[in-house]
Amino acid sequence: MAGKTYGIRTYGCQMNVHDSERLAGLLETAGYERAADGSTPDVVVFNTCAVRENADNRLYGNLGQMRPVKTANPGMQIAVGGCLAQKDRGEIARRAPWVDVVFGTHNIGSLPVLLERARHNGEAQVEIKEALEVFPSSLPTRRDSAYSAWVSISVGCNNTCTFCIVPSLRGTEQDRRPADVLGEIRALVDEGVLEVTLLGQNVNSYGVEFGDRQAFGKLLRACGAIDGLERVRFTSPHPRDFTDDVIAAMAETSNVCHQLHMPLQSGSDAVLKRMRRSYRSERFLGIVENVRAAMPDAALTTDVIVGFPGETEEDFQSTVDVMRAARFASAYTFQYSQRPGTPAATLPDQVPKAVVQERYERLVSCQEQISWAENRALVGRRVELLISAGEGRKDAGTGRMTGRARDGRLCHVAPYGGVRPGDVVETVVTYAAPHHLVADGLLLSHRRTRAGDASEPRRGVPLGMPSVRPRTPVTSEQE
Ligand code: SF4
């Protein structure tokens, strides 16, 4: 497809961000080029999310806006993939007949062929698979960052949380073998990557498919043996399966960051039961206590749903109490929304929107105070930052760059000449805001990295863009 350009719009979770990097890799392997910012691509891909109520409205709204654009660019092709495509299937082509391709979460590798077939046959191609064809991780990739990478360790989920549509769209859990995951990480480090985030809907049950309940802790420890890998993060864990061997692996493996994003969802045991979360608040707080005992500097963050069907004021107060006890560095707070196709959508006692909104505002303000107090406690502390591209672009007003601390916190740093995205600096926190830190003082050290070199502007090469990495050879289970 020499000369043809593409653009990808990604919605939803990190798994979709990971998959979009694979879609980009596939298209570039097929000869497409990434469209320049502001230009109209020849191929537009929507990688959709189905988690929130308005996900459908947003997609069909966007597709509606694309219709006149396509009319003005007859050769343009539109493709829709991701969880909403897996759910709505042919309905998308029926409601938006100007869409050329609909593909699902289990066959992202089919995109280039489906585009070709649609062009050749002059009709829309809808291809949805019920089971995974190949692990997306084995497909070519085009990563957005030179220094940080998403590495999926499993796809799908065996849990049945009543508010969640993921298992019905991504299937039951399938685990990549450790040697395969570690092989990919070593290849990334060889390319200059400093930080990896291990991805799974429930990373703690990693290994269930090949019968090793301690596989996730072992994987973290194995990451510790990879020279050049400086930071290991992971998402999402599940409190029911979060075991002491994982806490020990985090505490005893030097490159595993002391950062834990563990979804609480609710602090009320009655609500957790209706959510079918398989743990209660006491267990959740017990994990928090054990993590803090093993890693006193750890930053914990979480997800919370406000207004789940049947939630009383007392239930809500239980959530506030748990968040006060857990002292999260930050929290993603969501207002419950009925998701057709989930058991919770038909539960009685749906909470009125006004009540949900009022509780949501109370919870956000409560957490804001906690986040701010936790951040203020870090003023005067030495902090190591990995300077980020995008986040790290110079703030027009202050010229500041931004970096991530090992505990995941965002920190704005004073402008220093020669510091590039991908470099590592050490400095001291001088100010704390509710959602970020500031280090306006002296730079204690600046380490230029290969990733930083890769982010240096070069003639004809987009900033910080590593080349397309070919298909990862699937290694057999050595261990
Ligand atoms: S653990 Fe629950 S919320 Fe998370 S993906 Fe699985 S079913 Fe959904």
CA distance 110 to 30: 11
Burial 144-174 (b: 16+ CB within 10 A, else e): bbbbbbbbbbbbbbbbebbbbbbbebbbebe
C-beta 159 within 6 A of ligand 1? yes
Q: What is the mean pLDDT of each run of 10 residues along the chain (479 residues)?
A: 89 93 97 94 96 79 96 96 95 97 96 97 96 90 94 95 92 96 97 97 95 97 98 96 97 98 98 97 98 98 98 98 98 91 93 97 98 98 90 60 96 87 96 95 92 70 41 37
Instruction: Tell whether pTM > 0.75.
Output: yes
Phi and psi, residue 376, nearest 5° = -60, -30
Q: Provide the total of helices (H) and of strands (E) in the chain, helices listed first.
A: 14, 21
Site to substitute for ligand 1 among 15, 105, 163, 202, most atoms within 8 A of C-beta: 202
CB 311 within 8 A of CB 352: no
Number of Cβ atoms within 10 Å of the Cβ of 142: 22
Question: DSSP character for 204?
Answer: G
Instruction: Return the C-alpha torsion angle 123, 128, 132, 136, nearest 10.
Output: 50
- Check residue 390 and give its pLDDT: 60
Contact 84, 109 (CB under 8 A): no
Residues pairing with 446 in the sheet:
425
Please give the distance, rounded to the nearest whole angstrom, from the Cα atom of residue 14 to the centre of ligand 1.
14
pLDDT at 391: 55
What residue type is 35 in one-letter code? A
Rounded Cα gap, residues 397 and 15, in angstroms:
34
Is any atom of ligand 1 closer than 6 Å to the C-beta of 249? no
Does the domain made of 136-376 have the CATH classification 3.80.30.20? yes
User: What is the number of the ligand 1 atom nearest to the C-alpha of 201?
Assistant: 5
Cα-only R_g, the chain: 23
Per-residue tokens: 221: 């420890």
> How high is the pLDDT of residue 464?
41
Widest Cα–Cα separation across the chain: 65
What does the CA dihedral 362, 364, 369, 375 come to, rounded to 10 degrees? 170
Domain boundaries, the chain: 5-133, 136-376, 382-443
Tokens of 237: 């864990």
Which of 161, 205, 302, 339 has most ligand 1 atoms within 8 Å of CB, for mutation?
Answer: 161
Q: Which fold has domain 5-133?
A: Rossmann fold (3.40.50)
CATH code for the domain defined by 382-443: 2.40.50.140
Q: What's the rounded Cα separation, in Å, for the pair 318 and 323?
A: 9
CB 184 within 8 A of CB 479: no
**Which of 105, 173, 174, 201 maximizes ligand 1 atoms within 8 Å of its Cβ, making it the mutation to test the pocket?**
201
For ligand 1, atom 2: residue with the closest CA: 161
157 lines ligand 1 (CB under 6 A): yes
Alpha helices in 100-195 (DSSP H): 111-121, 166-170, 178-190
The protein residue whose alpha carbon is closest to atom 8 in ligand 1 is 164
Residue 471 pLDDT: 39
Q: Are 96 and 120 in contact (CB under 8 A)?
A: no
Cα of 111 from ligand 1 centre, angstroms: 27
CB of 166 closer than 6 A to ligand 1? Answer: yes
Q: What whole-number distance in Å separates Cα of residue 475 and Cα of residue 194?
A: 23
Q: Are 303 and 267 in contact (CB under 8 A)?
A: no
